[in-house]
Amino acid sequence: METKRPLILITNDDGIQSGGIEHLTRIAVGLGDVVVVAPDNAQSGKSSALTVNSPLYIRKYEPIDGAQRFSVNGTPVDCVKLAMYAVLDRKPDLILSGINHGSNAAVNNIYSGTMGAAMEGCILGIPSIGYSLLDHSPKADFNPLTSFITDITTKILRHGLPEGICLNINFPAHCTPSGIKTVRAAKGRWTEEYADFTSPHGIPFYWLTGKFHNDEPDNPETDEYWLSRQYGTIVPIHPDQTATDKISEIAKILE
């Protein structure tokens, strides 16, 4: 009796040519049939953005280790939506996004294109995971993550995920993680956010930069705490942002 191999859709926000998605693809081909549909260029910080007002094209790339590969001239969420509509012949069993070059811990989840794609998969009812390494370098070394990603991906293929939940998984840079912790996102925000310039024509302009301010650096319930101690972190994420526990309080003020 033949058992069908699971179908795994892979995307990211650094673009189809990045090192992180290639590493993830090579891991995933050992676990299922893999199709890559990823942005044709860098889409960092694109959150759950959609391309509303311009056309999308699909371009075919050479396979890697038997994984079919396609690019889309859009955002990570566009890639997931268009993969479902025009590329895949059945609903995938799993969506993997990444491996991102850079952190998506703490408040970064909300700006992250990597996590935008994972959340889109979750909205569509597909178990979805975003993987990130805290190293922005295009030459980041993803090898220390291989056994962790293989193990987690295998388990989620077997167990699935609770309804309405996807996973934001981050790994520390330049080390083999000491282990993995399931925690919540640290509270904080970006501060001192822009570099100031003046153009050759005398016009001021601004470029995003900034430092993350962690409100609770000593709290072991948080992702940032463990990442700074060389652990990987798993944060369960729900795309539905309703604060159900605040409905009656707000109703009292406003109805």
Q: Hey, which residues between 42 and 101 contact a copy of itself (CB under 8 A)? A: 42, 44-53, 55-58, 75, 77-78, 81-82, 84-86
CA distance 129 to 122: 9
Distance CA 184, CA 170 (A): 12
118 near a copy of itself, judged by CB under 8 A: no
Select the span of 2-10, 15-23, 63-71, 162-170 touching a copy of itself (CB under 8 A): 162-170
List the interface residues with a copy of itself, window 7-26 (CB under 8 A).
Answer: none
Tell me the window of 2-10, 89-97, 139-147, 178-186 that interacts with a copy of itself (CB under 8 A): 178-186
User: Residues 220, 226, 231, 232: is their CA dihedral positive or negative?
Assistant: positive
Nearer to a copy of itself, 33 or 128 (CB): 128
Cβ partners under 8 Å of residue 82, min gap 6: 37, 56, 58, 72, 74
CB of 2 to a copy of itself, least distance (A): 27
User: Of the candidates 90, 204, 211, 218, which one interacts with a copy of itself according to CB under 8 A?
Assistant: 204
Q: Over the range 239-249, which residues count as b (16 or more CB within 10 Å of their CB) and which as e?
A: beeeeeeeeee
* Binding status of residue 241 toward a copy of itself by CB under 8 A: yes
Nearer to a copy of itself, 4 or 252 (CB): 252
β partners of residue 36: 10, 69
